[in-house]
Amino acid sequence: MSDLFNEIDKRRTFAIISHPDAGKTTLTEKLLLYGGAINLAGSVKGKRTAKHAVSDWMEIEKQRGISVTSSVLQFKYKGYCINILDTPGHQDFSEDTYRTLMAADCAVMVIDGSKGVENQTIKLFKVCVMRHIPIITFINKMDRDSKSPYDLLEDIENVLGINTCPINWPIGSGKEFKGVYERNTKKVIAFTANNGQKEVEKEEFTLDDPELDSHLAYGQKETLLEDVELLDGAGDEFDIDAVRKGELTPVFFGSALTNFGVEPFLEEFLNLTTPPLARESDDGIIEPKSDEFSAFVFKIQANMNKNHRDRIAFMRICSGKFEKNMEVFHMQGNKKIKLSQPQQIMAQEREIVDEAYAGDIIGVFDPGIFSIGDTVCTPSHKFKFKGIPTFAPEHFCLVRQKDTMKRKQFIKGTNQIAQEGAIQIFQELDAGMEEVIVGVVGVLQFDVLKYRLNNEYNVEIIMENLPYQFIRWIKNDSEVDVKALDLASDTKRIQDLKGNHLLLFTSYWSIDWALEHNKGLELQEFGNV
C-alpha cells in the first residue's frame, strides 16, 4: 500500500499551453533534457517550418507518430515522475485544449516576452482559467528584445482576470539581458547563453556584491533596485492557496532556447504543484490514493497509424494502480473489458506499459467503444466521473460527399471524427445521412475535417456555410412537440446523433422569439458529446 502512496506522491501532471511559436516545444525539450529522457535538445519533433496552425496540423497528420509522441510525454526528475500534456496552439482548437486540461492538475502557460498575450490566443488562455487549476507562467525569449515586464504582467492580469506574482525578475532583455533576480533567494542569476547543454555554470550575485555592478550595463543596477523595492512593496503577495485555486499565477522569466531559467523553473514548479488531485464522481469524491483503479477518457485519436486504421483512447488515471491485462468495468458500455495494448509515451518512443498510477496517462487501443468523458473503474466499485462539457459550436456548415457512391465512407468518417470530439454533427429533422450539418467552435476545424475525410477516408466533400451562430439543446425534449414549435423563419430544427432535438438560430433575437412564442420551452447552451 505504501508503495502506491509513494508512487502517487511523486507524480505531477501538467498541460503546456502557448501561442504558436512562443517556445512550447523548446521548453518541453529542455525539461526532458533535465529528466535525462533525451540526450540532446532538438529532438522532440522535427517541425520548424509550418507557421500556420492548419498546415502545422496537416504536417503532423503526415507524421502521426510524431504527433503522438508530442502529445503526452513522461519524464523523471529527482525522484518525481512528470507527465506533460501538449495542447494545440491555436484557439480554434480550444475545446481540445479544455479536454486536455481536464486530464491535468495544473497548466504551464508559455508567453513570448516580445509579444505578450496575443489576441488570437486570448480564448485559449481563458479556457485555462475556466478549469480553476494552478497556472504557472513562463515568459520566454528574454534573450530577445521584450516588452516591459510590468506590461507583460498587466497583460496577463487583464486577459485572464487573475493576479500575477513574479518569482524572478528580468534584468534587461535582448542584447542587454543580464539575468534574473530571484525574489526568494534575493540573488541575481547571471545570464549565460547555453545552447542546449544541461550543465550550466551558475553565476550568482547578491545585490550588494560589487561584482554585480560590473556585470550589469549602465543604469541597470538602479532600475533593478527600484523594481525590487516596487515588487516587494506593491506587488501581489505570494499566496500558495490562491495559486492552487488558480487565482494567482506565479511568473518566471527565462529563455528556453539558451536554457536559461529552465531548471529553477522546474524546481520551483515541483514545490508549487501538488500530487494528483481528487476527482468528483456521481459517488462522491474519488481519492487518487484509493486502491481501486479508475480512469476517464479525455481524448480519442483515430488513424494514428494509417495502415492499421487504429484508434487510441487516452485515459487519465484518477485513482489506484493500473496493471497490464487488468479487467476493468467500462461504465458507459456497461460491461467488463480488458484494456488492450496500453501504451505510454516516453519522449519519442511508445512503450507498452505494465503498470501506471494515478496521475499518469495511458493510451489504449479503442475498438470503437469509447467516447470522450467515459469512465473505466474496478468492477467491484462502479461510478461515473463528472462529464466533460462540450462547447457550443459557433460555426455551421452543410456537408455532403461529392461522389454519392462514397456514402458509407462519408458516414463512417464524419461519425468517427465526431466521436473524437473534433466536430459535432447534426441532421435536419427526418433527413437522411446524405448530408450533415457540422458545427465547430473554430473555423479551422472545417479545414481539418475536409483534409481528414479526404486523406483518411478517401472522401471529397462539398461544404456550404450556414448563417447560424447559436445552437440550443431543447432541455425538456420529451415534453415538447418540436415540429409544432412556433419559430422565426430563420430558425432551424435539427437533431444530434443521439436523437436529441436542437434549434439553430442566426441571432439572439430569434432565440427570444422562440422562448416568447412557445411557453414552457426550455433551452440550454451545452450538451454532452
Q: Which of 278, 273, 274 is nearest to 289 (CA)?
A: 278
Q: Output 103 or 262, the one with its CB closest to ligand G4P.
A: 262
414 is an interface residue for ligand G4P by CB under 6 A: no
Residue 483 sits in the site that holds ligand G4P (CB under 6 A): no
Phi, psi of 378 (to 5 degrees): -75, 135
Which range touches ligand G4P (CB under 6 A), out of 179-187, 249-257, 314-322, 490-498?
249-257
In whole angstroms, the minimum distance from the beta carbon of 114 to ligand G4P comes to 9
- Residue 143 or 227 with smaller CB distance to ligand G4P: 143
CA proximity to 444, closest of 53, 13, 108, 147 = 53
d(CA 280, CA 387): 10
Query: Segment 68-107, which members bind ligand G4P (CB under 6 A)?
Result: 89
C-alpha–C-alpha distance, residues 529 and 521, integer Å:
22
Calpha distance 323→356 (Å, rounded): 7
Q: Cα–Cα distance between 234 and 45 in angstroms, integer?
A: 42
Q: Which is nearer to ligand G4P, 11 or 24 (CB)?
A: 24
Nearer to ligand G4P, 255 or 273 (CB): 255
Please say whether the beta carbons of 322 and 315 come within 8 A.
no
Q: Which stretch binds ligand G4P (CB under 6 A): 255-263, 306-314, 365-373, 417-425?
A: 255-263
Does position 257 interact with ligand G4P (CB under 6 A)? The reply is: yes
**What's the rounded Cα separation, in Å, for the pair 258 and 244?**
30
Per-residue string for binding with ligand G4P, 332-351, x by CB under 6 A?
--------------------
Give the torsion through C-alpha atoms of 281, 284, 290, 295, to 10 deg: 0
- Residues of span 9-38 touching ligand G4P by CB under 6 A: 18, 20-26
User: Given the complex with ligand G4P, which of 112 and 182 has the nearer CB atom?
Assistant: 112
C-alpha 494/C-alpha 106 separation (Å) is 38
Q: Could you give the CA distance from residue 121 to residue 185 in angstroms, rounded to a whole number?
A: 34
The C-alpha cell of 294 is what? 479508475
- The residues with which 315 forms a beta bridge, in sequence order, are 297, 362
Does 475 carry a binding-site annotation? no
CB of 27 to ligand G4P, least distance (A): 7
Nearer Cβ to ligand G4P, position 42 or 387? Answer: 42
Q: Any known ligand binding at 393?
A: no
- The footprint of ligand G4P on residues 105-164 (CB under 6 A) is 140-141, 143-144
Shortest Å, Cβ 22 to ligand G4P: 5
| Residue 143 marked ligand-binding | yes
- Which residue, 115 or 289, has its beta carbon nearer to ligand G4P? 115
The residue among 68, 70, 18, 23 whose CA lies nearest residue 44 is 70
Which amino acid belongs to residue 139? I
Residues at the binding site are 18-25, 86-90, 140-143
Q: Which residues bind ligand G4P (CB under 6 A)?
A: 18, 20-26, 48, 89, 140-141, 143-144, 255-257
